[in-house]
Amino acid sequence: MAGFEVFGDEEKKEIQDVLDSGVLFRYEFIEQRKGVFKVREFEEQFARYCGTGYAQAVTSGTSALKAALTALGIGSGDEVITQGFTFVATWEAILEVGALPVFTEIDATLNMDPADLKKKITSKTRCIIPVHMLGAQARVKEIVEIGKIHGIPVLEDTAQAAGGRIDGRHLGTFGQCGTFSFDAVKTMTTGEGGMIITGDESLWRAMSEYHDHGHDHVVNPGGRGGEGRKFIGSNYRMMEIQGAIGLAQLRKLDSMIMAMQKNKAILKEAVLSIPGVEFRQLLDEKGDTATHLAFFMQDAEHCRRVNDELRSHGCGAVNFSENTWHYYPRWEHLLEGRTLASSGWPFVGIDGKRRVVYDPRILPSSAGIIERTLVLPISVKMPEERLAIMCDALKRAGNV
């Protein structure tokens, strides 16, 4: 599943450079740091790896979304469309910048359904966020085309698909920008951390200044204290130690993906023994990061029987209709508008009226897909014995 599995000497060596200099901050300390700029180097390497112009490191995938939305000019009164199958962070960020999330159906890719996207666009739509869930591609080319027709920018939430591609082109480079997460369970990890990539220099500059309290980063004789600013910002700066870990993890990313693709292929073969099974649609199998294997049973009842069998062998799969963090009808805090703000914001507006009411029944096609989908997480390291037990359990599940 993830970079934590391969954390080792390479990461420690990179971290040691930072400890030796004693400089934990990504800016300033020019004398002491002796040329060590880990976060800056990580940004440059990440942009190069993805084949794009600019990368901005931040503290998390959530702050990456927030900084990207802010730089795109999104705020109160705006609607942002995303999919009803994603991690809560996607819509938390939308609400946090003051905009309202609107949710689309997913299709057999388990990602945004472009046909439903077309229906959800209104005069208030200011951004579209397809999410590359479970390591694989959303129909991002079609989505970008739809966005173009309406003049709406596309932000790719690539938190779960670092290193993923379509025909060799990296996910995160199709829209105006792409965001990544390096939290503890993501494909590559820096413990906590995130990145935004873009080919647009002015968008990158806005994100860079915003994430650092608005500092304009223009060379100034007064140092940072003398720098100017064009707008208010916040603080989402990445630490040097995280940048150091990121450099080592990035160098391992393609080999991690290759290892997971190998393990996934073995399990996929075993899944074929389940009668009537179909696989999640992949737009480009070579560009799949293979962090998960998702497959569809005949119906919800069949899905339960198969998973009961898998569980009885210690190989239970994830059924996302039971998961409260990734699936719209299970987000009761969103549906009920629960917030710490005594005013009720962001669910209640300044006029004291509810700004939006979310009905749990608005995504029936997604429900029809999710209730018969099973997902097996794939690890980088899956010993042969473990793979054999899983394959055996899947073959037995073919008889239930």
Binding site for ligand PLP (CB under 6 A): 60-62, 86-87, 89-90, 131, 157, 159-160, 181, 183, 194
User: Looking at beta carbons only, is 87 or 327 nearer to ligand PLP?
Assistant: 87
Least distance from C-beta 261 to ligand PLP, angstroms? 20
Could you tell me the sign of the dihedral formed by the alpha carbons of 38, 44, 47, 50, in that order?
Answer: negative
Within a 13 Å sphere around the CA of 166, how many CA atoms are in the beta-carbon half? 15
CA distances from 160 to 61, 126, 193, 273 (A): 10, 23, 13, 28
User: Looking at beta carbons only, is 171 or 367 nearer to ligand PLP?
Assistant: 171
Distance CA 148, CA 131 (A): 18
Residues with Cβ within 8 Å of residue 67, at least 6 apart in sequence: 56, 58, 196, 207, 210, 211, 236
Q: What is the CA radius of gyration of the chain?
A: 22
Least distance from C-beta 266 to ligand PLP, angstroms? 25
Least distance from C-beta 383 to ligand PLP, angstroms? 27
Distance CA 344, CA 339 (A): 6
Tokens at 82, concatenated: 């995303």
Using the 8-state DSSP alphabet, how is residue 143 labeled? H
Backbone angles phi, psi at 330, to 5 degrees: -95, 0
328: number of Cβ within 10 Å: 24
Nearest 5°: the CA angle 93, 288, 178 is: 30
Instruction: Kindly provide the residue ranges of all beta strands, DSSP E only, lying in the chain, ordered along the sequence.
Output: 54-58, 79-83, 100-104, 125-129, 155-157, 165-166, 169-170, 177-181, 194-198, 278-279, 292-296, 373-377
Least distance from C-beta 254 to ligand PLP, angstroms? 20
186 is catalytic: yes
Least distance from C-beta 62 to ligand PLP, angstroms? 3
- Of residues 38, 66, 186, 252, which has the active-site annotation? 186
* Structural contact between residues 260 and 47, judged by C-beta atoms closer than 8 angstroms: no
Exposed/middle/buried for residue 364 (C-beta within 10 Å: 0-12, 13-18, 19+): exposed
Distance CA 28, CA 26 (A): 7
Tokens at 94, concatenated: 């939308």
Q: Which residue has the tokens 């799969």?
A: 317
Residues with catalytic annotation? 186
